Amino acid sequence: MPNNANSPTKVVTGVVRLSYANVWEPKSINGGPEKFSVSVIIPKSDTKTIAAINAAVEAAIEEGRGKFGGKIPGRDALKLPLRDGDIDRPDDEAYADSWFVNANSNSAPEIVDQALCPITSRSEVYSGVYARVSMNFYAFNSNGKRGIACGLGNIQKIRDGEPLGVRSSAAEDFTPDDDSEDFLE
């Protein structure tokens, strides 16, 4: 069910992996306005999601005709959201044999579990978790840049995954120090 029939520019992915998951609090990227954002890593084997994204991008190009001066520019003149992880992130193992889309939003996504119950614990959804994501594609034309952007909708956690990044836990960083002196005496 990767595409929602109500909107040709909306896609609900199959199972993907989240990276750079700023889904709990907005964050500024490259000095821009603060937004909720995530990099959605899609296995190349998920041809249904890729086909749905390509169809949504085409629909967004058509819907954005007015932003492009009434004419549809060639694809090579547009910045497109679907990128090849093997080409654009060759040194990042998480992106191997995958496509990816960077999605963002001014408002927080709803985050739910498989039973559609809200998830409120920040430790439950992180970079590396497997999820389904709803996204909406739309045209932009600003500051001389034209293309299709991806809006972040909602997130459904499917299962845990190996966390991405090099963050360690407090238990890994420290050991109990029974020999410490009580410096307040």
Q: Are 137 and 148 a contacting pair, CB within 8 Å?
A: yes
In angstroms, the CA 88 to CA 111 distance is: 28
Residue 53 lies in a domain: yes
Residue 181, in any domain of the structure: no
Whether 163 contacts 94, CB under 8 Å: no
- Of 3, 9, 8, 20, the C-alpha closest to 103 is 20
Q: Is residue 1 part of a domain?
A: no
The CATH number for 28's domain is: 2.40.50.140
CA 98, CA 83: separation in Å to the nearest integer?
Answer: 9
As for how many domains the chain has, the answer is 1
Q: What is the pLDDT along the chain (185 residues), one digit of tens a residue?
A: 444 458 999 999 999 999 999 999 999 988 889 999 999 999 999 999 999 999 999 999 999 988 888 888 888 889 999 999 999 999 999 999 999 999 999 999 999 999 999 999 999 999 999 999 999 999 999 888 899 999 999 999 999 999 997 556 666 677 776 555 555 55
| 34-61 confidence digits (pLDDT tens) | 999 999 999 999 999 999 999 999 999 9
Residue in the structure block whose two tokens are 């090579």: 76
Residue 146 located in a structural domain: yes
State the residue range of the domain holding 142: 10-164
Q: Establish if 28 belongs to a structural domain.
A: yes
4 assigned to some structural domain: no
The H-assigned helical ranges of 112-182 are 170-173
- For the entire predicted model, the pTM comes to 0.85
172 occurs within a structural domain: no
Q: First-to-last CA distance in the chain?
A: 65
Please indicate, yes or no, if residue 177 is contained in any of the structural domains.
Answer: no
Strand, helix or coil for residue 117: coil
Type of residue at 158: I
